[in-house]
Amino acid sequence: MSGEAAAGGGGEANGVQPNVTIYINNLNEKIKLEALKKSLNAVFSQFGKIIEVLAFKTLKHKGQAWVVFEDVASATEALKRMQDFPFYDKPMKIQYAKTKSDVIAKADGTFVPREKRKRNDEKPEKKQKREQHHDVNQAGVGMHAYPGAYGAPPLSQLPFGAGPKVMMPEIIVPNNILFVQELPHDATALMLQMFFCQYPGFKEVRMIEAKPGIAFVEYGDEGQATAAMNLLQGFKIKENPMRITYAKK
DNA sequence: AGCACA
């Protein structure tokens, strides 16, 4: 038992090799793209720097997204930790992406512009003749140029189009104030705010100095609080999943 | 289910 078995449970189960980009599917298709990307960014940024988040509306790509990290370690951590995480009421399924993301290829100089990709309506009369004589890999792109880098997330828009499908255990009285437990004891209000502030109606995070590990998060109304709770329920700020309930009145 | 880079 050398204890080095951690690598076995990763993403090689389906033959895909580790990649700085993770491929996520089983995402809730009702969520608008912008909100989806914003939430993915918020939820995954804890694992490392995110270069880009990509998602598309087309039929073939609904419910899927790509999150490009700066390094493989972050991607691996994200893959393991967020596997089956209930995101907009659906457990997200995460794998390593099969191929290198363009933004990465551009940064390391291996980017080759694809000529025919989007127009898949072209008739497949000839499929050989690869034009490899164009030396396009000398793109001369700056190494740390990340054209699609994810900037500061605007939080003016409503992330939620989904109805308040609450996963409530039993008899619970909704409240516009949430009670958050099992936080890491060194969690700060500012840290929590990063997660809770992205949902509509967010007002403030309050922490009790005498009681580490808990917080109150206030929203404008119960529906808003419920929506935020649903997304962040069980989310791991550090190691342990936080527990969110309605605060008692 | 589905691996792209609008």
Say what the pLDDT of residue A141 is.
Answer: 29
CATH code reported for the domain at A177-246: 3.30.70.330
b vs e for A161-173, b when ≥16 Cβ sit within 10 Å of the residue's Cβ? Answer: ebeeeeeeeeeee
Q: Which helix (H) or strand (E) holds A76?
A: helix A72-82
The CATH superfamily label for domain A21-108 reads RRM (RNA recognition motif) domain (3.30.70.330)
pLDDT at A131 over 50: no
pLDDT at A124 over 60: no
Distance A117 CA to B3 C1' (A): 13
Query: To the nearest whole number, what is the mean pLDDT of chain A?
Result: 77
**Per-domain residue ranges of chain A:** 21-108, 177-246
For tokens 């409240």, name the residue: A175
Which nucleotide lies nearest residue A29, CA to C1'? B2
Domains A21-108 and A177-246 share a fold: yes
- Strand B nucleotides, any atom under 7 Å from protein beta carbons: they are 1-6
* 0.85 surpassed by pTM: no
pLDDT at A155 over 60: no
Say what the pLDDT of residue A203 is.
Answer: 95
Say what the pLDDT of residue A237 is.
Answer: 81
**Confidence band, pLDDT 50/70/90 cuts, at residue A247:** very high
**Confidence band, pLDDT 50/70/90 cuts, at residue A12:** low
Distance A114 CA to B6 C1' (A): 13
Distance A93 CA to B2 C1' (A): 13
- For chain A, list the strands marked E by DSSP: 21-25, 50-55, 65-69, 86-87, 90-91, 93-96, 177-181, 202-207, 215-219, 243-246
Helix boundaries (H) for A129-206: 189-196
